[in-house]
Amino acid sequence: MKLKLLLLTVMAVSAWAMMPSGIALAQSPCDNTYFTVDPTFGRPGSSFGAGGIGMFPGSQVQLFWDTTAPGNLLGITNAGPGGVFYDSFNVPAAATDGVHQVIASGTLNNESPVECAADFTVYGSVQQDAYPSRTAAQETTPNTLPSTGLFLLVPVAGFAAAGLGAAILKRRR
C-alpha cells in the first residue's frame, strides 16, 4: 500500500514538474489537481486504489461512485503533506457493467472546492432479475431432466476404448 502511494506521489510530482507554468494537469473543473484510479476496471466488490495530488494538505477528500449524492459515498481520506491523497475502496456490489465515474471531492490549496472524476469500467456484474421466480406449479415439480438414454454413451465409450487399448497391447506382445 505504501509502495503504491509512493509510486503515485512520484508520478504525480513528476507530471506536475513537467507541466509548463500556469497549465493545469487535468482539465477543468479539476484546476491544478491530478486524480486517478488503479486499476481502471474490475468486478463488483473488487478493490481499487484512488488518489492524487493538489488538495489542501490535511483536508478531507470524499470519494463517490457516479454522483456526489450522499448514498454514493465510497469513503473519506485525508490529504497529506503536499496535498497527496490515496486510499483503497471497493466497487459497489450493485454496480452494473459499463463505464462509471469515481469522483474526488475536496478543497484545493487556495481553499476553493473542487471535484475531479476518473473513469472505472465494471465487467462481470450479475443482473438482479436474471432468473425469474418460479411459479407454484414449478415448485412442486421435481428438478429432473428428461431421460434420453444418452447418459449411457459415456461409460460405453469408456469401456470400448479400454477394450480397444487392451486388444492393441495384446497384439504387440
Give the per-residue SS3 of 109-159.
Answer: CCCCEEEEEEEEEECCCCCCCCCCCCCHHHHHCCCCCCCCCHHHHHHHHHH
Residue 74, pLDDT > 50, answer yes
Q: Is residue 157 part of a domain?
A: no
Q: Is residue 137 part of a domain?
A: no
Residue 156, pLDDT > 90, answer no
Mean pLDDT computed over 143-156: 55
The number of folded domains in the chain is 1
Q: Is residue 146 part of a domain?
A: no
Whole-angstrom distance, CA of residue 59 vs CA of residue 57? 6
Q: Is residue 132 part of a domain?
A: no
Q: What is the pTM assigned to this prediction? A: 0.57
Specify the long-range contacts of residues 23-30, CB closer than 8 Å, at least 24 apart. Answer: 25/54, 26/116, 29/114, 29/115, 29/116, 30/54, 30/114, 30/115, 30/116
Q: Is residue 6 part of a domain?
A: yes
Residue 4, pLDDT > 50, answer no
Domain containing 49 — which CATH number? 2.60.40.1930
Question: Percent of the chain, pLDDT > 90?
Answer: 46
The residue ranking higher by pLDDT, 18 or 115, is 115
The domain in which residue 67 lies consists of: 2-122
Report which of 42, 37, 165 is spatially closest to residue 102, judged by C-alpha positions.
Answer: 37
Q: Is residue 158 part of a domain?
A: no
Q: Is residue 145 part of a domain?
A: no
Q: Is residue 28 part of a domain?
A: yes
Residue 63, pLDDT > 70, answer yes
